């Protein structure tokens, strides 16, 4: 009796790790860094590097395996992907390969008695909540990198700080929106990001995003920057619709002004308020994801 999990351990895992170790070394990782990224010992990395680990040729030649190795390698190298997300993506592929696919074929060869059955139940959902959570965090990281790698972004950060946020597809509250804990601040002309994206850490920008979504705007991400007439003019000149709302309105001014419109909102648009007593004027860029929002802000730089 041979379980399919044994094939994952004996055939898929050594092959995947060997390919990923080679990919990371090609990206400039040291042997120690590869070991840390894969959660294995340096001696194990050395064995992979010297071909002392059996590699399954059918697994190694599978296009999906190769694509995942490249995706994970790039994600780990840039910091866009955490080890948790890498693990989730690998698990999803494993379950796909188990379901009447490569691993299922290997299992049937090892256990011919299985040939009369219809394969295996899919026990890992590719649309799992954990996978979606990690993908949103990864998207926020990509957007942040676009902003912090662009000269001059610090000058667009308001006194209250900026935050780049992105929501889960079915977000209902602040806990469903990822942002930067402590916000992004201008420290001596440098945009300073105090921590990794987390859920439930943004009230200000997340609330604006939730208000827009409540008005049926098809947006999942947002960023706040300084307001002045020139900023709005430049965004309008770049083709982004800019909509003013009243910061002093008694209830949910963003939702109110968007629901009052007769036409559909564009994919990426801007809402802004010009301030009032005790309220700093702010511009909010809203769009489908964090990198797209970051691209919109970069037109100002």
Q: pLDDT tens digits, residue range 68-110?
A: 999 999 999 999 999 999 999 999 999 889 877 888 788 778 8
Provide long-range contacts, Cβ within 8 A and 24+ apart, for 120-127: 120/4, 122/95, 122/98, 123/95, 124/91, 124/92, 124/94, 124/95, 126/92, 126/95, 126/96
Residue 109 has a pLDDT of 82
Cα dihedral sign, 39-45-48-52:
negative
Residue 122 has a pLDDT of 39
Checking if the pLDDT of 292 tops 70, the result is yes
pTM of the predicted protein model: 0.79
Residue 167 near residue 220 (C-beta atoms within 8 A): yes
Q: pLDDT tens digits, residue range 158-168?
A: 999 999 999 99
Sorting pLDDT into bands at 50, 70 and 90, what band is 114? low
Sorting pLDDT into bands at 50, 70 and 90, what band is 205? very high
Residue 156 has a pLDDT of 98
Q: Which residues contact 268 (CB under 8 A, 6 or more apart)?
A: 219, 240, 285, 286, 287, 288, 292, 293, 296
Q: Which of 18-27, 108-117, 155-164 has the lowest mean pLDDT?
A: 108-117
Residue 49 has a pLDDT of 83
Q: Which of 113-117, 196-200, 234-238 has the lowest mean pLDDT?
A: 113-117
Residue 67 has a pLDDT of 96
Q: pLDDT tens digits, residue range 206-241?
A: 999 999 999 999 999 999 999 999 999 999 999 999
User: Looking at residues 103-121, what average pLDDT do you find?
Assistant: 65
Residue 124 has a pLDDT of 44
* Cα angle, residue 78 at apex, residues 191 and 98 outer, rounded to 5°: 140
What's the Cα-to-Cα distance from 93 to each of 6, 81, 86, 263, 266, rounded to whole Å? Answer: 16, 16, 11, 42, 35
Checking if the pLDDT of 125 tops 70, the result is no
Sorting pLDDT into bands at 50, 70 and 90, what band is 33? very high
Checking if the pLDDT of 197 tops 90, the result is yes
User: Alpha-carbon distance 69 to 17, whole Å?
Assistant: 9
User: Alpha-carbon distance 48 to 38, whole Å?
Assistant: 12
User: Alpha-carbon distance 265 to 81, whole Å?
Assistant: 32
Q: pLDDT tens digits, residue range 254-289?
A: 999 999 998 999 999 999 999 988 899 999 999 999
- Rounded to the nearest angstrom, the gap between the alpha carbon of residue 182 and the centroid of all alpha carbons in its chain is 19
Q: pLDDT tens digits, residue range 37-79?
A: 888 899 988 898 888 888 999 999 999 999 999 999 999 999 9
User: Looking at residues 20-29, what average pLDDT do you find?
Assistant: 94
| Percent of the chain with pLDDT strictly greater than 70 | 95
Give exposure, 156-166, as e/b (b: 16+ Cβ within 10 Å): bbbeebbbbbb
User: Alpha-carbon distance 178 to 165, whole Å?
Assistant: 5
């Amino acid at each position: 009796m041979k379980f399919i999990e044994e094939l994952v351990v004996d055939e898929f895992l050594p092959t995947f790790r060997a390919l990923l170790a080679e990919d990371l070394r090609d990206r400039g990782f040291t042997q120690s860094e590869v070991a840390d990224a894969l959660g294995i010992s340096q001696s194990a990395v050395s064995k992979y590097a010297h071909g002392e680990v059996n590699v399954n040729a059918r697994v190694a030649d599978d296009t999906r395996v190769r694509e995942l190795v490249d995706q994970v390698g790039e994600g780990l190298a840039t910091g866009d992907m955490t080890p948790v997300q890498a693990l989730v993506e690998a698990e999803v592929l494993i379950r796909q390969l188990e379901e009447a696919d490569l691993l299922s074929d290997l299992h049937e060869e090892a256990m011919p008695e299985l040939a009369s059955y219809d394969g295996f139940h899919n026990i890992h959902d590719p649309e799992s909540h954990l996978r979606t959570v990690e993908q949103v965090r990864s998207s926020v990281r990509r957007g942040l990198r676009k902003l912090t790698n662009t000269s001059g972004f610090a000058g667009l950060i308001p006194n209250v700080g900026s935050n780049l946020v992105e929501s889960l597809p079915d977000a209902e509250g602040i806990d469903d929106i990822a942002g930067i804990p402590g916000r992004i601040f201008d420290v001596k002309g440098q945009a300073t990001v105090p921590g990794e994206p987390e859920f439930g850490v943004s009230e200000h920008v997340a609330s604006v995003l939730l208000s827009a979504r409540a008005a049926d705007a098809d947006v999942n991400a947002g960023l706040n920057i300084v307001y002045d007439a020139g900023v709005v003019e430049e965004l309008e000149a770049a083709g982004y619709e800019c909509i003013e709302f009243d910061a002093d309105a008694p209830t949910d001014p963003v939702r109110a002004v968007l629901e009052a419109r007769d036409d559909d909102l564009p994919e990426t648009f801007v809402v802004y308020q010009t301030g009032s007593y005790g309220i700093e004027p702010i511009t909010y860029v809203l769009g489908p994801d964090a990198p797209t929002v970051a691209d919109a802000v970069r037109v100002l730089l």
